[in-house]
Copies of this chain bind each other. A is one copy, B any other.
């Protein structure tokens, strides 16, 4: 049985893609899966040095990540990509190439991102000091039907991580946690049912 799949995080800079990718990786490693994270910054260093932020260069960068994710996925590795990947068409190209593809939309409103702004990038972008900055001076096309949507402005990291893991379990991409016969969502459903019935 194929074990590999690609978990593709998309969203604006600062929306939490890298943080969630690392947290999910740790959980999947604990469950005995093989996992590689392809983070936007690492990829720009190792696969895409020299590429800029024009639409063409962004597309090339995202296709390259897709190419590597595909090599990993078809060899039973979970490939986790964390890259802004602003254009829907190129994400969908990768989905088509890879097949076993789970898109996670890291939603976060611009006001929250401007407030967080740990690297001061949004401030610079708003002043015009950084050009082609996604969400400010460059487009972002949110997924229309992502497998998972997390809203990192409204929910904490643990909640987002739990949502992603539950979705992967439901889609049978990963086995349920050792010792637990039910996924988090299933357990919640069971608990509510038991409460409704007056048992707990």
Contact = CB atoms under 8 A, between A and B. Distances in A.
Interface of A: 34, 36, 46-47, 49-51, 60, 63-64, 67-68, 71-72, 75-77
A34 B75 CA distance: 7
Given A46-B64, A47-B47, A64-B47, A71 B34 contact: no
Contacts of A46: 63-64, 67
A34 B71 CA distance: 11
Given A46-B64, A47-B47, A64-B46, A36 B71 contact: yes
B67 A34 contact: no
Contacts of A72: 71-72, 75
5 contacts: A47-B47, A50-B50, A71-B72, A72-B72, A72-B75
Q: How many copies does the complex hold?
A: 2
Contacts of A71: 36, 68, 71-72
A63 B49 CA distance: 11
Contacts of A49: 60
A60 to B, nearest CB: 7
A36 B67 CA distance: 12
A51 B49 CA distance: 10
Contacts of A76: 34, 75
Nearest to A43: B67
A71 B70 CA distance: 12
Contacts of A67: 46-47
Nearest to A66: B46
Top 6 nearest A-B pairs by Cβ distance?
A46-B67, A75-B77, A34-B75, A36-B71, A47-B64, A68-B68
A22 B177 CA distance: 40
Contacts of A75: 34, 36, 72, 75-77
